[in-house]
Structures are given as structure tokens and as C-alpha cells.
Chain A
């Protein structure tokens, strides 16, 4: 199946042991139901797992590489749509890369993209490098992955203002643990947040960044700092408070026999009233106070701190415990079901 990413043991562990317990906890404790937007993949593995909690799915599927049997490259999309119907969950699937559709507001079929309801789970499973651009069908126009995330947050804010719904939402960001060393260096040298700088200084002393080439799974700390700092900037306007969960590292399915170290970040977000408060980013000093987690090939989670992170070996990683420790602000005003 060209273009279909098969599920690795690490990915399954992230989905089943990291994402699911949090989603189920919020669902069972606070009655939260989910509107899902993202890249579920043709097999809709996560949607299947959470289907009893999901009310609606907005999916994106890019064309498979055209071949003789499928000259239009629609097979994956058709299959995704078919699978979505079979699951019996209302929803729609757009044809094309999510980044392009979100920014150009139209899919390959000319179907208009719009977000009219608040999304409660973003599953941004890019399977690729976060710092890359992608080509679009508009000649010469490229879009950045981060640009798309920014646009999605703006859409979310618009929907929040129009619907007035409770604004708690979860962002699941999965990227390839890979980035150009030079690009990362540019970011690190370009006035990062002072917390970030402190973290970077510690990490650089033990695991310095090479001057050139790509870092592949070896400098998670750099990507973590880059991602955390960028998301914090994007959340500041439109005024979103965010609870950053530990980074989860895992091995994805190798492509062309090259290993695929992956990097998963779960963020719980909530819109704040811009008149009343400044957005809150929790935990304070996230980079240095929260250790990373590894989802290993045997399908369980363990702490796997990066340089500059604490060693939490005493307690097994649990997103629900983490939420209970740091998430009070985000759950403020929410009624427990029992």
C-alpha cells in the first residue's frame, strides 16, 4: 500500500497508553466529547480507538502517488472516506495536504475548507520534519507546517468566538525527530525565550549541536525547545493557555530502511479572556522541569530524560497523574460527572 504509514509498536503505545488515558479521563470525568480534526490515516486507527467519545471527524488525506490503477491518486482518500462511513461517525475528509488546505481554504476537489465548530482534538500527525515547507498546487507557493498550525489556531479562535462553546482542546503533534542542524542553530541563536536559552545552554554543554547536516533522533532537546518556544509564541495571540505534556519519543516504521525516530507532544489548551489574564503556559520552566518519555518497541512507556531534564524514574509516566499535578487551571469551572 504505497503512501500508507503502518503502525509501529511505539506509535501504538503512544496512542493507547499516552493519548487514550487522558482522553478517556476527560470524557469519563467531565463528560467531554470530541470533535476530531487531523490526519488519522486511512485506517483511522485512533478514531476507531476513541470512536465512542468522538462526535465528528474532519480528516485530510493526501493523494497516493498516481499509478496505472489509480491515475488520480484518490484511492487512499476513497478508502478513508469509506472507512469513516463504516465507523458510523459523522464527518468529512478533504483531499490534499492539510497544510495547503488550511491555508488555501480549498481542497484538490475545490471543496471549500471551513471550520464552523470548535475542534477538541487536533491530531497533527505530520510523520515528517516540522521545519519543512511543502509545495502547493499554486505555482511557486509553498506553505510551512507551522504556518498551518498558526492558521488552525486562528480558525479555532474564530469558532470559539462564534459558538461560545467551552474551549478546552487537545493538540496531538507528531513529527519526525529530525531537523537541519543549521536551521535549528538559527532558531537557537535568534532570541529564544530566556527559559529556552537556559535549557539550551545546559544541553549544548553535554550534547552539542553539530554545525551542519541533519540531526536524526540525537538532539531531541533542540527540537523540544524549538517546538515549545514556537507554540508558546503562537498561543500568545489569540490568547491560549497551554499545558505541555512530556515529550514522548518512539521509533516509527522505517522508510527505505532509514530509521524513523519520532517525537510526540500532547498539549492541553484553553482560550483565556484577553481582557482578564495573560495566557498561562504550564508547567513553569517546562523545558527543564519535565522529563521526556520513551514509548519502546515492547509497547510500554518509561522516562527517558534528555540532557537538562530531571530524572523522574520513581513514578511511571502517566498523563492523568500529570494532568492532576499541573492541570488545575485548565479544569477550572468544569463539573465532574461523578
Chain B
């Protein structure tokens, strides 16, 4: 088998559009590459300006010296360390090929006085490729090879102006193609996209931002300030979290979780849980997002299957910040490159989600306990306030007694109450005890009063009736049926089976149920007496 070596004439110019079109199908993906380069250049400030025909990305990063600028023009060769940088494939600088006519990169390193300009005449490349296609359609042999194509259209020179200051780079894409601008003209879409690309600071309207950024500083995780201008609108961009995403403005401070397995430290997570026992309403925010160098990996549903109770994935928001150098995002940013570290990371995730589950559950149980305590305290206050008016209302007191029993049971059920608000619980118990004592005493007092009244009535009747009943009459009295139905039957007052059934129910379920036997007998006798007088 004889070996055939490649030559420069074995790589045609067409490889350039094939590569760039394949890798950067979306205009925003191409923009991302330049923003990503700015992040990789250790900048802490980026300005993106989008006009209908010009886009620029300016950073205050380390910039490039002549050799680095020369190196950046290479295709598919990168000096970047994949363990430290997100962009390292050496294609990104050509991502504007399908976007604009001319790409220029002005760059200056702090150690070099010269500003260098990388010049990519993409319009010329496209034109040359078209010419080549036309030439070949006439049957001629190919003659446009990648090397010659790039030599003619790509070069680096010394700039006669300095748009970057002390150090940094500025990418200018001019002659933007109309389709590209249509895609880049949507503020919301571009903002959302950049939020998933750049490690932005937190919105001042998110109360826990400073606390989390402090954790970032401790963990040596850099944030990059980015200003976006599209047409007239210019605003700083932030991470998408605000107090408004939580049901009650974000009551619970964030919790931080280290992610490690043995000696392997993958990074950390910050998590906030909703302050109502429900999913966070904004579906774009709920769930945890994995980030590396500000780049989002997949989406917020990625971690949900790892949760023992998926509901807590939806009730929480936050980020998993990956700092392990061997966890390398894949080209589509949909996952990490498959390697042993990724495997170990995936095996560690259930431990993380269990911790989050447990923390969120505890917080929400405490939340529930607080709610119950607040509700019961309000009700007990109402009850206590209304008690004096009910002192003589036996029926209401009986109902209240049952309600107080129920409140007592609920206070016992909320095991976390003592831990979340011991003083509040004690106050509620005091209110409950006070109300129970009042009701008990009121009922007892009523009972005594009724007994006394009954005795007085009997005595009065006896005094008024001069004649003692004869033995026959006494026997008759004693034999008088002692229930409601019997009394009414004696006077022939029940007509119809339905009425009878209703009265039987009243007799059995209400009178006998609520009155003690003595009271019941007295009532029946009193009824009989009234009926005798009336009828």
C-alpha cells in the first residue's frame, strides 16, 4: 500500500463556508463566538453594539500581541487551553463569515504599544467562491484553494487608530447581511441569549445578588459586566433573577452547596427556594442551570430527573457553577464532553439534589408551620375577642368547644412550630388555653344555672298546687311516656309519616344528644304542661 501525502491543493476554499455554516447555523451563535472570545480574554467589561449594518463587540481583556494576532487568524488551530477556555476550537473567529462583508478585530495587549488589526474580507471570499463555482460549471479544473483564498482576504496589520484603550479587543462586523440584522434586532432574544453566554452580574433588583456575588468572589468566579446597545436602546445586562420571580418577593436567603466527590471538586451551587409552596411561575427561571465560564450547559430541565422530589426542582432556582477544568462543554453546549470526570460528576449529582431536596423541604415545612401558626393565632385572637358575647349562648359555646379541640390538634401536628417560632407557639397555646377555660367554665355555669332553675320551677309548682296528686294521678304522671313523640301522640299532633320521622330525628339526634337526661325529662314535662294548658 503506497502512502499519498496531502498538499495545500487538497483543501478547497469551499471548506470555509462548509465549516462556518455547519457550526454557526444561527446568527446569534456567531455573535456568541466573539462574546465568548471576550470572556476568555479575561475582560470584566464588554460592550455589544448592534446597528442595522454594523455589529461590534468591545472588551477590556488582555488583548493580543502581533504573534497572538497572527495566530488568531488560523483556521481550526487554537492556542487556547480547552481546560481553561470555553472557545478553543480555532473556528470562532470565522463565525462572522455568513454574517457580514468585513470583519475587523482591533487588539492591543498591555505590554505592546502597537494596536493590531485583523482584517477578514468575507465579501471578497464569498465573491471568489462564486466565481470559482461559475468557472467550474464550465468544466474547468478547480483552482481556488483555501490557502490562496485566505491569503488574499485575511491579513493582520498595524492599526492607525486605537479604539480599545490600554488593552483589549474590538470586533467590528460591517456590511451586516439583512437576514443577520433581522435576527439581531430582537432585544429580548439577544438579551436572553447573552445571559446564557456571559457570566453577568446580578440585577440590582435581586436582593440576594450581593450575597451570591460575594460567594463568587470567594470561589474565584469572575463576573463580566456587559452593555448591550441595539439601535437607540442601551442597557447593562444582568443575570435574569429579580425579587419578582418569587411569590412573596424572595423571603428565603440562598443556600450554597459544594459539589464534590472525594478529592474531586466540581464547583458549587447557589439555590433559592420559592417563598410559597408552589412552582416558580416563570418557566424560564425555575430550576437549576449549569454554568461554566458563564456559558449555560443545556437548560433548566437538565437536573430535574436527578431530584428525588422533582417538585423541588420547580420550586427552586439557581445555578450550578462548574469549576472543574476537565468538565468541558461540548460544541452545542448541550452537555459536557464525555470523559471520566463527566461520569463522576453525573454520579455526584444525586447527592447534590438530595441535599437540595432536604434543604428545600425543611424550609417549606417551616414555611407551612409558620403559615399554620399565623392562621391559628389570628383565629384564636378572634375567638378570644368574641368570648364575652357568647357566655350565655350554650349552642355557640358547644360549637366553639369543638373548634378549640380541633385547633389544639393542629398545633400538635405541626412539629416544626417549636423550631420556627417558639414564642409564637407559646402565645398561641396561652390563647388556646384561655379560650378553652372560658368555654368550660361558661358551660358549667350554665348547667348549674339550669339545674337551679329547674329546682326552683319544681318547687314553685309544688307550692302552687295545693293538692298533692292522688296515687292514681301520680302513677299516671309517672307512666306518662317520657319522650317527645309520645307526648305529641298523646295530643294527636303528629299527622303523616314524614313529620313523624322528622320529629323522631329531632328527638333522638338533637334533644337527646344535646340535653342531659334530667334536662330532657324536664323539657318533656314542660312541653306536656304547655300542651295541656293550650289544648
Contacts and interface: CB of A to CB of B under 8 A. Distances in A.
Partners in one complex: yes
Interface stretch (B65-73, B77-85, B163-171, B490-498): B163-171
Nearest to A69: B123
B52 interface: yes
A112 B175 contact: no
B172 A77 contact: no
A78 B176 CA distance: 9
A166 interface: no
Contacts of B53: 74, 77-78, 81
A61 to B, nearest CB: 11
A93 interface: yes
A85 interface: yes
A54 to B, nearest CB: 14
Nearest to A70: B175
Contact of B174 (A81, A112, A113): A81
A216 to B, nearest CB: 37
A78 B162 CA distance: 19
B236 to A, nearest CB: 13
B51 A93 contact: yes
A93 B54 CA distance: 10
A77 B232 CA distance: 16
Nearest to B51: A81
Contacts of B364: none
Contacts of B172: 82, 85-86
Contact of A86 (B51, B161, B176, B232): B161
Q: How large is the interface on A (under 10, 10 to 19, 20 to 34, 35 or more residues)?
A: 10 to 19
Given A82-B174, A86-B163, A88-B170, A114 B232 contact: yes
Contacts of A114: 232
B130 to A, nearest CB: 14
B175 A78 contact: yes
B56 A95 contact: no
Given A78-B174, A79-B174, A85 B54 contact: yes
B49 interface: yes
Interface in B453-508: none
B232 A111 contact: yes
B163 A81 contact: no
Interface centre among A92, A112, A113 (most CB of B within 10 A): A92
A137 to B, nearest CB: 16
Given A78-B174, A81-B174, A88 B51 contact: no
B56 A85 contact: yes
A30 B420 CA distance: 62
Contact of B163 (A78, A88, A95, A111): A88
Nearest to A108: B52
Contacts of A93: 51
Given A74-B53, A112-B232, A114-B232, A88 B174 contact: no
Interface in B176-218: 176
B231 A81 contact: no
Nearest to B47: A90
B52 A85 contact: no
A87 interface: yes
A320 to B, nearest CB: 29
Contacts of A95: 52
B106 interface: yes
A78 B54 contact: yes
A82 B101 CA distance: 12
Contacts of A87: 161, 163
B232 A85 contact: no
A88 B161 CA distance: 9
Interface string A55-96: 000000000000000000010011101100111100011010
B232 A92 contact: yes
A251 to B, nearest CB: 29
Interface string B215-246: 00000000000000101100000000000000
A159 B416 CA distance: 58
A111 B162 CA distance: 29
A79 B54 CA distance: 9
Interface string B35-68: 0000000000000010111101010000000000
Contacts of A78: 53-54, 174-176
Nearest to A89: B163
Contacts of B54: 78, 81-82, 85
B164 A88 contact: yes
Interface centre among A85, A87, A112, A113 (most CB of B within 10 A): A85
Nearest to A113: B232
A87 B165 CA distance: 10
Interface string B395-421: 000000000000000000000000000
A109 interface: yes
B174 A92 contact: no
B163 A92 contact: no
A92 B161 contact: no
Interface centre among A86, A95, A111 (most CB of B within 10 A): A86
B163 A85 contact: yes
A78 B161 CA distance: 18
A74 B58 CA distance: 23
Nearest to B230: A111
Interface centre among B53, B164, B175 (most CB of A within 10 A): B53
Contacts of A79: 174
A225 B165 CA distance: 46
A95 B54 CA distance: 12
A82 B176 CA distance: 11
A109 B182 CA distance: 11
Contacts of B161: 86-88
27 contacts: A74-B53, A77-B53, A81-B51, A81-B53, A81-B54, A81-B174, A82-B102, A85-B49, A85-B163, A85-B170, A86-B104, A86-B106, A86-B159, A86-B161, A86-B163, A86-B170, A86-B172, A88-B58, A88-B164, A88-B165, A88-B170, A92-B229, A92-B231, A95-B52, A109-B52, A111-B231, A113-B232
Given A79-B174, A86-B163, 8 more contacts: A77-B53, A78-B54, A81-B51, A81-B53, A82-B174, A85-B49, A86-B159, A114-B232
5 closest A-B pairs by CB: A88-B163, A81-B54, A82-B174, A109-B52, A78-B53
